[in-house]
Structure 1
Amino acid sequence: MAGALSTRPAQAADIAEAEAFLADHPEIGAFDLVLVDINGIARGKIIRREELLPLFRGGRHLPGSILGLDVTGEDVEETGLVWSDGDADRRAWPIAGSLVPLPWTSPPRGEVRLSLYELDGAPMAADPRHALAAQQALLQADGRQPVAAFELEFYLLDREATADGRPQPLRMPLTGERLGGIHVYSVDELDRLEPFVDAVYRAAEAQALPVQTLISEYAPGQFELTLRHREDALRAADDLVMLKRLLRALAVRHGMKACFMAKPFAGRAGSGMHAHASLAGRDGANLFADRDGELAPALRHAIAGLLETMTESMLVFAPHLNSWRRFAAQSYAPTAPSWGVNNRAVAVRVPAGSPEGRHLEQRAAGVDANPYLVGAVVLAGIRRGLAAQRDPGPPATAYVSAADDTLLADWRSAIEAAAGSAFLKEVLGERLHHVLLALKRAEYRRFAADITALELQLYGEVV
């Protein structure tokens, strides 16, 4: 047993990374240890400076049940990670390249992200990051390197709710005015968001996060940030996790709240987490680049694979009850498994751009989804399409919404579709597939048992 406790996985960060960081940052006295669970929630603990090198040398025990928590933080025994498992410890190891400062903290802290392993060094199967790593490795074994990036849509809200407890858009930092109306692509709105914008870019630079364009989106207080692509899908998902944490922390310190619900306002735009992907060959060339003025066969095959697997994967793209409020007719959230070129009304879009830089954009995922699971499903769908060499059919050239061709009706339908999906079970692995379903079924039961204010209003004195 003693030997098993010291088994070091090959993927763990080298201690030299921690030594160099401590030498460069003598001012940092503590570190956030961050493990991302299946709901995309950052969980962990804070350690002191003197504990960092032992973490890099030998890892750190964390209970496996940390991955068996529902969105409220409650244990879900059906996951098999709580009492039936004796609430057993696993070993958390630092992710290479994840040690960064948290420039918004005072006194200064740093952050290191973790991945969970069994005591013998094998990947802990319920850790969602390992699912993406496995799909990337399968593509790499075939000489195909995923190139990926995520876009992040989110709301900035006032710290105070309305009198009836509902969220409301923020007051602009420079003017104190509350946002109202739609000011999509407004640069004046972005200007009035200083100094928050400046803090975001400064913090991103300090953390080597490739944050790029900021956009005022299609609702009061809704914004989008883009991330530069990575030649590593794992790093791209890591970027998204870090950016959400950065935005949430800075919003609090600027008197606001960053909201990553898929649909915080009825009648307003929902927030997506669009996944951009292409593949590089062994020579580094883009396998999705146009051929003879036409879309490459590899790109068309990849799109076909994504469309074929989309319906059964919707629990990954829309994992919560609120996720399903985002899908609506004539919105920017897809309602059918469709594809198109330079068309934002479809589920899989081929953006306008240079023929050499051609890539696809999966638009089904909400901002509340777990980027590691989204990435795993997207890469697996691409793999399936390439293997089968199917054609996706003609592209849509306008809005697509066919009553007989919808993705799914609701959250419960998505849970049942995921339960019966051999594809999803293969992609996630049997253990993670089981844990995901146990968590979502427990969360569904929690919502189904609640008596809402609307029910009381409609039925209380009527029926």
Structure 2
Amino acid sequence: MADALSTRPAQAADIAEAEAFLADHPEIGAFDLVLIDINGIARGKIIRREELLPLFRGGRHLPGSILGLDVTGEDVEETGLVWSDGDADRRAWPIAGSLVPLPWTSPPRGEVRLSLFELDGSPMAADPRHALAAQQALLQAEGRQPVAAFELEFYLLDRETANGRPQPLRMPLTGERLDGIHVYSVDELDRLEPFVDAVYRAAEAQALPVQTLISEYAPGQFELTLRHREDALRAADDLIMLKRLLRALAVRHGMKACFMAKPFAGRAGSGMHAHASLTGRDGANLFADRNGELAPALHHAITGLLETMTESMLVFAPHLNSWRRFAAQSYAPTAPSWGVNNRAVAVRVPAGSPEGRHLEQRAAGVDANPYLVGAVVLAGIRRGLAAQRDPGAPATAYASAADDALPADWRSAIEAAAGSAFLKEALGERLHHVLLALKRAEYRRFAADITALELQLYGEIV
């Protein structure tokens, strides 16, 4: 069997990164090893300080079945990663640039994110980060560099529930519970000051490009934006890190950060909008306006996203709850539509400078995996650029859903994904298989459950 050094992947972080970090942070005695699974859940372990350099030198064995877990943490044999695979180990390697402090921990810890590889050094095909890396590499080979960023909508909730239901948070400075819609309220943000300050301080310590905080369209709902990266992988990494940061800091401030797509019936759902453009070999924006009009490349990219949206909805809306977010005349699209400066469409061209023109894919919920979303968005853009078709006239108002325009529900999305040659190509055949196995297992689990509402409605009536 080959040793770790002979099979070290080119993508692995250099040991000099760990040496420099240890020298700069003598106070840190332990590190979280974090691998992101297909549901976007952080899996891993904690190691001691003296184990960090060996990790960077030779990687760390982890079972491949860690990527075959459903959202509850149960093994799904149908993924082919559990007993039929002998629950075999792969080797995890640290991601370059991912070694950061966790400034909210006491005693202080650090974090390093991992990506999984086969023992021969080839990418482990069920690791979602590799899917995005592959799509980015294909664009780069064509002389196009993706520029990307994600927006994060989320709820801050009280840690105590009411009759088993979530409640909006109590504001740290006043103790009052939020009620009513205070969209864009700066006073609401002011009353959240201790938490906001902690978020920005922690983001700075982790070199996360966190920017604008907004009070959103429901009590306790907020949005944080991230500055764009000239690297789609780093943009997805940012989103993963920000979710972990928010979850950890919310706990330490007596709250709970919620990344469900729709935690409250009758209130706004939470999206994870993906912004993207491309630069050419000369560094110029390929989506920049041409002669006062939208660029042909931008039109073609939009077409690719619209034509692949139906079969990609399982990536954008991967859970049962995800589908409660889509509603008519809401900020979640219900049809494969596009428009300029129109938030009621699936693919939006935001207002802004002609030189900085980009597109925004608005279908993904905050519960989606940004690596999978990024892979599908880049693959759709590539398909559109190759086909060079026009998307048709932009919608100028709410775009109504046409019959069968999108899957009607979670089960329909699973079946649409199963029959999609595009999705198999965008994610890779093995990841496509694992995703479907997990989602079918999760669907069966939910379908077999008897809910409280069923018992209430049918228990003594029918």
Gaps of 5+ in 1: none
Query: Matched residues in 1 for 2:188 and 2:221: separation?
Result: 11
SS at match of 2:289: coil
Contact 1:351 1:361 survives alignment (8 Å): yes
Q: What are the superposed Cα offsets for residues 85-133 of structure 1, whole Å, 9 maximum, x if unpaired?
A: 0000000000000000000000000000000000000000000000000
| Contact preservation (8 Å) 2:117, 2:123 | yes
Provide the C-alpha distance between the structure 1 equivalents of 2:288 and 2:402, rounded to a whole number of angstroms: 34
The structure-2 alpha-carbon separation of the partners of 1:4 and 1:198, relative to structure 1 and needing over 3 Å to count, comes to: closer
| In structure 2, distance between residues paired with 1:211 and 1:121 | 34
Offset of residue 7 of structure 1: 1.1
Question: 2-side partners of 1:163 and 1:250: how far apart?
Answer: 23
Instruction: Kindly provide the CA deviation profile for residues 325-360 of structure 1, in whole angstroms up to 9, marking residues without a partner as x.
Output: 000011100000000000000000000000000000
Separation in 2 of the partners of 1:119 and 1:312?
33
What is the TM-score of this pair, normalised by structure 1?
0.99
Count of residues in correspondence between the two structures: 462
Which residue does 2:259 correspond to in 1? 260
Confirm or deny: 8 A CA contact 2:2 2:120 kept in the other structure: no
**Which residue matches 1:187?**
186
1:257-315 deviation per Cα after TM superposition (whole angstroms, max 9, x unaligned): 00000000000000000000000000000000000000000000000000000000000
Q: Displacement, 1:241? A: 0.1
Q: Is residue 6–residue 58 contact of structure 1 (8 Å, CA) maintained in 2?
A: no
Q: Distance in 2 between matches of 1:107 and 1:402?
A: 53
Tell me if the contact between 2:4 and 2:59 (Cα under 8 Å) persists in the aligned partners.
no
Within 2, Cα distance between the matches of 1:164 and 1:6? 57
Aligned-pair identity in percent equals 96
SS in 2 for 1:248: helix
Q: Aligned-pair distance for 1:406?
A: 3.4
Q: Deviations over 1:358-394 (max 9, x none)?
A: 0000000000000000000000000000000010000
1:194 to partner: Cα distance: 1.2
Flag as ranges the 4+ runs of structure 1 deviating above 4 A. Answer: none
Distance 1:307 1:102, change over 3 A: same
1:2 Cα deviation from its structure 2 partner: 4.0
3-state SS in 2 of match to 1:4: coil
Retained in 2: the 8 A contact 1:289–1:355?
Answer: yes
| 1:108 matched residue in structure 2 | 108
Deviations 1:159-188 (A, max 9, x none): 00x441000000000000000000000000
Aligned counterparts of 2:243 and 2:3: Cα–Cα separation in 1: 38
Unmatched 5+ stretches in structure 2: none
- Cα shift at 1:5: 7.5
- Partner SS, residue 170 of structure 1: coil
Q: Secondary structure at the match of 1:69?
A: coil
SS in 2 for 1:405: coil
Preserved contact between residue 30 and residue 49 of structure 1 (Cα < 8 Å): yes
What does residue 158 of structure 2 align with? 158
Distance 1:4 1:156 in 2: 43
Name the counterpart of 1:239. 238
- SS, match of residue 5 in structure 1: coil
CA distance 1:222–1:201, change in 2 (3 Å):
same
Deviation at residue 404 of structure 1 after TM alignment: 1.7
**Cross-structure match for 1:59:** 59
Query: Normalising by the residue count of structure 2, what TM-score does the alignment of the two structures yield?
Result: 0.99
Structure-2 separation of matches of 1:163 and 1:319: 27
1:207-286 counterparts in 2 under 5 A? Answer: 207-286=206-285
Give the 3 Å change call, closer, same or farther, for CA 403–461 of structure 1 in structure 2: farther
Retained in 2: the 8 A contact 1:129–1:372?
A: yes
* Residues 5, 120 of structure 1: 8 Å contact kept: no
Query: Is this contact kept in 1: 2:125–2:431, CA < 8 A?
Result: yes
Counterpart Cα distance in 2 of 1:89 and 1:382? 35
Q: CA deviation at 1:405?
A: 5.3
